[in-house]
Amino acid sequence: MTFQQLEYIVEISKCGSINKAAQKLFLSQSGISTAVRELENELGIRVLARSNRGVEFTPEGKEFLSYAVSLLEQKRGIESLYGEARNAAAPVRFSVSCQRYPFAVDAFLRLLRIAGENRFRFGLRETGMDGVIDDVYDHRADVGVICLTDLTEKIICRLLDARELEFHELAAVCPCIYVRGGHPLAGRSSVTEEELDGYPYVAFEHDQGVASDFFEEYPMVSLKKPAKCISVNNRATAMYVLASTDAFTSGSGLLSEGLADGSVVTIPLLGKTSVHLGWIHIRSSRPSPLTEQFVRLLEEALADSIAFTRRLQEGT
């Protein structure tokens, strides 16, 4: 089977006859007919039903036609992509995988604003911690952004060592809860774990079997088996649920100016150890200049996020 035979089949479907297809392709009718028969013999199916009135696609032929169209489109896409690459420099590629942190998105946007390359393929993926670690380990991401707590640090660092990944801490912040601006607890300077009892808890979905050490939410004993739990799979949905109900979730508490609309606020949790925010990369691989540039922007975005969140919490 050849792409040329596929092109003949597609052209016949467009023209409605072998004769018209031959004319459009500047070929003989017998040449196209022979090519179609050879294709039918090779596949063991009848693509066209021939009669005195012309040709029609058989049920098998219609199914084959859909595959032929798809294959030809993919062929043209590949030719366009690599044909262009022969005449131009290869695009700069850079990918970030991160837990669902606004400051990481802010850093990525800052990178886009100063990107000077004419051609680039940049990517940002928000996922759970296990997904971030897998992305960096499998070279799908140049850098990953995760958090550690005193309760999870030992297990996570052991996994990072086993995969020869390195964690670089950027900042340690007080854990917080996220609630809507009109929540009964909003306006408080701080809350305790006991005061959260009775409110629905929002948590991100995780694949079955993933240990709680990889969860994005700040670990609390009372939340191991919450009475009311709302499961979501992305940050936008989580924020919408929080803004529309009396539910809460826990985490770093960081918000970023320009990415926060004020509908959700954060309140520090009393009596809890810090959340350690940082980035990971492959230990044996020296960070590229683009990775180093992103890390600098990540540091700036994180510092701005900490300052912005503190102003909101202090009401200044």
**pLDDT band, very low/low/confident/very high, at 215 (cuts 50, 70, 90):** low
User: Distance between CA 301 and CA 193 in Å, rounded?
Assistant: 29
DSSP 115: -
pLDDT at residue 220, rounded to an integer: 65
Given a cut of 90, is residue 216 above it in pLDDT? no
More confident residue, 300 or 66: 300
DSSP 252: -
Report the CATH number at residue 75: 1.10.10.10
Q: Which of 30, 58, 86 is the last residue of a domain?
A: 86
User: Distance between CA 18 and CA 24 in Å, rounded?
Assistant: 10
pLDDT at residue 211, rounded to an integer: 46
Please answer whether residues 32 and 8 qualify as being in contact, where contact means their C-beta atoms are separated by less than 8 angstroms.
yes
**pLDDT band, very low/low/confident/very high, at 86 (cuts 50, 70, 90):** low
Domain identity same for 33 and 135: no
The DSSP bridge pattern shows strands 201-204 and 229-232 to be parallel
Task: Quick: pLDDT tens for 202-212.
Answer: 988 866 544 44
Q: What is the mean pLDDT of residues 255-263?
A: 86
More confident residue, 152 or 118: 152
Domain identity same for 124 and 212: yes
More confident residue, 9 or 282: 282
pLDDT at residue 213, rounded to an integer: 46
Three-class secondary structure of residue 190 per DSSP? coil
The total of structural domains in the chain comes to 2
More confident residue, 178 or 23: 178
pLDDT at residue 219, rounded to an integer: 66
Q: What is the mean pLDDT of residues 106-122?
A: 88
pLDDT at residue 87, rounded to an integer: 60
Given a cut of 90, is residue 244 above it in pLDDT? yes
Which residue shows structure tokens 């392709």?
25
Domain identity same for 271 and 195: yes
**pLDDT band, very low/low/confident/very high, at 22 (cuts 50, 70, 90):** confident
Domain identity same for 72 and 216: no
pLDDT at residue 210, rounded to an integer: 47
Q: What is the mean pLDDT of residues 151-179?
A: 93
Please answer whether residues 278 and 168 qualify as being in contact, where contact means their C-beta atoms are separated by less than 8 angstroms.
yes
Task: Show the DSSP H helices in the chain as ranges.
Answer: 3-15, 18-25, 29-43, 59-86, 102-114, 129-137, 153-162, 235-244, 289-314
Owning domain of residue 124: 92-314
SS3 content of the chain, % helix, strand, coil (to 5): 45, 20, 35
Domain identity same for 35 and 179: no
Q: Which residues face 268 on adjacent strands?
A: 176
Domain identity same for 109 and 239: yes
- Our measurement of the distance from residue 253's CA atom to the centroid of its chain's CA atoms, rounded to an integer in Å, reads 22
Q: Which of 71, 86, 101 is the last residue of a domain?
A: 86
Domain identity same for 48 and 159: no
User: Distance between CA 231 and CA 151 in Å, rounded?
Assistant: 23
CA angle 137, 282, 118 (to 5 degrees): 90
Report the CATH number at residue 160: 3.40.190.290
**pLDDT band, very low/low/confident/very high, at 240 (cuts 50, 70, 90):** very high
Question: What does the block give as tokens for 3?
Answer: 């792409």
Domain identity same for 58 and 152: no
Residue 238 has phi, psi (to 5 degrees) of -60, -45
Domain identity same for 54 and 159: no
Residue length of the chain = 316
Domain identity same for 140 and 231: yes
Residue 287 has phi, psi (to 5 degrees) of -60, 135
More confident residue, 214 or 220: 220
Q: Which of 86, 102, 119 is the last residue of a domain?
A: 86
Domain identity same for 65 and 213: no
Domain identity same for 101 and 78: no
Mean pLDDT, the chain, integer? 87
